[in-house]
Structure 1
Amino acid sequence: MGARKRLRANQNKEAKKEKAFAILRDCPTSPQKMRLVADLIRGVDVQKALDMLKFCPKEAARRVEKLLLSAIANWEQKNEGKRVDEASLFVQEIFVDGAGMLKRLRPAPQGRAHRIRKRSNHVTIVLGSKTAVENITKE
């Protein structure tokens, strides 16, 4: 690995240590259905997002709710002694990427077969603190 590439990799590693995030990999839901739920909570306060997900009838909302709780726990572990209420956490980033696809065959009329694609996705949630964002903008 070259020197510049190594320096950039170390910078990315240090930046990642400061962020509180959680990743859900290979979730057996289509990315389109998951993005509908992700768009609901993008940029919303954490407590309000949890309430929205709890009462959302979609099955994908249950998985995102569990992932959001995991991201909150990761934030608490990094920031020992701080309370979630005082930090005013919000969902800074949430994005859904496509994952592997299971390909299956379904019988069709006249001896044919249709391909069924069972999609899956990866979800990433990054939390941000409004107090930290305000401190950066003041400087």
Structure 2
Amino acid sequence: MKFERYGLGIAKGMALTFKHLFRAPITVQYPEEKLVVSRRIRGNELVWYLDRCTGCATCAKACPQGNIEIVTHPGSENNYVVDKFEVDCGRCMFCGLCVEACPYDALAMGRSYERAQYRRQDVILNKEQLKLSDIRQPSGYARP
């Protein structure tokens, strides 16, 4: 009697296996083939809007890892001029707290997810590399 119960379970499992055996594969070979990614993806990059940034360094204070380094000097109209803005993306956990903390929406999470580099110095991004460009676009979740 026990054999009948086990035999039925094995038959159901084999039927499911054969059903999936002849389906088209779901996975792709990643470097050669890439899936279409939604524009609303929150990737692992930051986009910096130079015209919105006042140099208040709220983002650097909100970063739990301390990865954002800002050097400023006083400018006109109670604003600061940003001399140095660097983000160490190698240590960043992309939590988005810096984006939420910025009162002027000068930071946004980007769409890119391919950030592998061979040298550690290449993942430290300066203000020229963080600026909004054709390559570096904000996620669909970013505030306009």
TM-score, with length taken from structure 1 = 0.26
Higher helix proportion (structure 1 or 2): 1
Decide which structure has the larger Cα Rg and report it.
2
Higher strand proportion (structure 1 or 2): 1
Of structures 1 and 2, the one scoring higher in RCO (CA 8 A, sep 6+) is 1
TM-score, with length taken from structure 2 = 0.25
